[in-house]
Amino acid sequence: MSDLIIRSYEHADQDGVVELWHRCSLVVPWNDPVKDIEAKLKIQSELFLVGIYDGKIVASAMVGYDGHRGWINYLAVDPDFQRKGFGRRIMEKAEDELRKLGCPKINVQIRTSNIDASAFYQSIGYKHDDVISMGKRLDP
């Protein structure tokens, strides 16, 4: 029986990862997925995790540590493979890697409309922080 293999992203994964993100509706007009991958490969590339099942990329988590907090972006599990524990597994790996780096806390940003992701994160132990999330674009 196959099992989920979680490892760092490799160059040959690009098409599979971009397809996964499209299938999970994570590709938005203001973010180019290929540029986002290339940028991540320059910083803590080993923390860009993918999950492989039966040779197919079915999960991803773009993990980072800024020296104070850990961050997760592009958490995705292929819709055909959701609710099988793969999201929990890739997050456990992300948490292990961040813990090894001495990271004391992980922050995640979830769109308020993304009820499923909120339910997922709550079920794996994340709590609502009483903060307002703000952002400012630095690119033109």
The footprint of ligand COA (CB under 6 A) covers 24, 26, 75-77, 82-88, 110, 114, 116-117, 119-120, 123
Dist. CA 103–CA 108, nearest whole Å? 14
Residue placing its CB nearer to ligand COA in the complex, 56 or 88: 88
Closest separation between CB of residue 41 and ligand COA, Å?
21
| Identity at 13, one-letter amino acid code | D
Contact 108, 72 (CB under 8 A): yes
User: Can you name the residues that pair with 49 across neighbouring β-strands?
Assistant: 8, 61
Closest separation between CB of residue 91 and ligand COA, Å?
8
Return the H-helix or E-strand segment holding 34.
helix 33-42
Closest separation between CB of residue 129 and ligand COA, Å?
14
Residue placing its CB nearer to ligand COA in the complex, 9 or 86: 86
